Amino acid sequence: MPITSRTIAGRAVNPIGLGCMSLSWAYGTPPSDEDGAKLLERALDLGYNNLDTARIYGLGHNETLIGKTLAARRNEFFLASKTGIIVDGDKRRIDCRPETIRAALDESLRLLNTERIDLYYLHRRDFTVPIEESIGALADLVASGKIGSIGLSEMSAETLRKADAVHPIAAMQTEYSLMTRNPEIAVLDVCRELGTTFVAFSPVGRGALAGGVRDAGALGAKDIRRSMPRFGGENWAANRELLDRFEAIAAREGVTPAQLSLAWVLSRGDHVVTIPGTANIAHLEENIARWDWELPAAVSAELDSLINRETVAGGRYAEAMQRTIDTEEFA
């Protein structure tokens, strides 16, 4: 059977949403505001109805672009944003104190040109503030009508349970793909148990599983993948061999590598949605074109055997970044 719509916070959404980060930051030079606006408009026209942004994406640029471009179409999409990573000049910190959350939300509402954000995430765990205290502040914002629901990003099953005891957590957003299996340790199952939607970011392995990276050494100087171990040296050479075989399976099945990657993620449970990001309209169209394709069980097993935590070389983050993440890690 084809995949049907799924839900976040009780609202039906297309299982494939849009991660908007690439329009402002991270993977080399972002597009112009004009081109970014064209992509956002095209996304809604294609049926994308779950848009994900964050204050840190371009230091407010991403929220501003969405607010300027889509204000007149605000009722057509579910809007998620995030706070918790604060940048002051050249300094970056994680801050989930209640007063910081409240001030950040008011600024996001202004930039997004809206009176309500449907889903507001804590972008990272603040280990200096009890999670219950941060969630209590967010619960007050739900009661005020400024946000519709609460999400967590890159946090553990234990943290999710603590947070959910204070207020229902609508979504947990964490990196998940064939190449990144950490959610399978615990949080994917706990999300199902609690009724929390699992939102998979980087479902195409930051482009690797979409056929978009042939020579990792050629990535631009400002591309964040240059600091990620699995894109470097011998690790990348080993991973490239896996990806060649993966791409051959996609060709055999009559789909693109990106479409195969997305289908695999969505096959992991009906509580899973995904938000691939792109700054390219052709990729935007490709990602959603086969959104309802159900991955055959035999192909899923073949992929699991080929690309998994034992076969992928290199971690997803360098050590310094890894220390800021609350997700479970394999031994």
User: 176 an active-site residue?
Assistant: no
List the catalytic residue out of 27, 48, 57, 176.
57
Give the residue carrying structure tokens 């739900």.
Answer: 142
Structure-block tokens of residue 41: 């408009």
Collect contacts of 184-190 with beta carbons under 8 A, ≥24 apart: 185/157, 185/328, 185/329, 185/330, 186/156, 186/157, 186/328, 187/155, 187/156, 187/157, 187/160, 187/327, 187/328, 188/268, 188/269, 188/272, 189/157, 190/157, 190/160, 190/161
Measure Cα distances from 154 to 158, 206, 248 in Å.
Answer: 12, 16, 32
User: Which among 330, 249, 238 has a CA at the least distance from the CA of 296?
Assistant: 249
Residues classed as catalytic: 57
